Amino acid sequence: MSASTNSVPNSSTGSKKSLKAFSDDIWKNKTAKINAELFTLTYGSIVSQLCTDYERDFVKVNNQLFLMGYNIGMRLIEDFLARTALPRCESLAKTSEVVSKCAFKIFLNVTPQVGNWSSSQDAFSLFLDENPLSDFVELPMDAAKELWYSNILCGVLKGALEMVQMDCDVFFTSDVLKGDQTTELRVKLNRVLKDEIPAGED
């Protein structure tokens, strides 16, 4: 535990490299792992069951996946904070880095590229070159039009970021499964929430 807190990267120069090394260390030494293909197949079974339940109304499937992810994200952030002990990010740029290099790394063992910043620096994109949810997945014609297969990721990010007081819109703008060149996940910061009692808990 002390080793992990010592190696928490500070904001000085070279923090990019140390964040990567820091995450690599957590992934290699402090993480129980399972076969990625099992994960892919299980997620596939869930999505296909939803498509059956909603009679291939993919808008509803997208929404259900998002809500499912949202519920997961709200709890996953706790595990993330406990594991990394990272301090609050001082900027959205820092957040984007932590999400891609640290969160995606220690949970899914991938590191999406960050890019496509908006001019006002309040929105960025994550480019998923690899996506363990959709390995070997091919969508049927009807699904390729409307289904955002990995939409659960949006929900997870939304839920997790909200728990650290960041109200964001998270959505896919393109997906290789739909025939696009890239898989792009957009994160747009609406506002930073004040520390307050969660809704419904008063």
56 forms part of the interface with other proteins (CB under 8 A): no
Of residues 126, 143, 147, 154, which one binds other proteins by CB under 8 A?
154
Integer Cα distance of 186 and 173 in angstroms: 7
Nearer to other proteins, 19 or 108 (CB): 108
Residue 113: CB atoms within 10 Å: 13
68 forms part of the interface with other proteins (CB under 8 A): yes
Of residues 36, 86, 144, 193, which one binds other proteins by CB under 8 A?
36
85 forms part of the interface with other proteins (CB under 8 A): no
Integer Cα distance of 81 and 48 in angstroms: 32
In the complex, least distance from residue 164 CB atom to other proteins, rounded to whole angstroms:
17
157 forms part of the interface with other proteins (CB under 8 A): no
Which of positions 133-152 make contact with other proteins (CB under 8 A)? none
State whether residue 115 is helix, strand or coil.
strand
Q: Contact 93/118 with Cβ under 8 angstroms?
A: no
Q: What are the distances in angstroms from CA 179 to CA 43, 91, 126, 175?
A: 20, 34, 18, 7
**Closest Cα to residue 151, out of 124, 170, 168?**
170
Give how many residues touch other proteins by CB under 8 A. 45
Contact pattern from residue 94 through residue 113 relative to other proteins, giving x for each residue in contact according to CB under 8 A and a dash for the rest:
------------xxxx----
Integer Cα distance of 46 and 48 in angstroms: 6
Structure tokens at 27: 């992934």
State whether residue 166 is helix, strand or coil.
strand
Of residues 2, 6, 13, 32, which one binds other proteins by CB under 8 A?
32
Where do contacts with other proteins occur on this chain (CB under 8 A)?
Answer: 27, 31-39, 41-46, 48-50, 52-54, 59-60, 63-64, 66-68, 70-72, 74-76, 79, 106-109, 132, 154-155, 158, 171
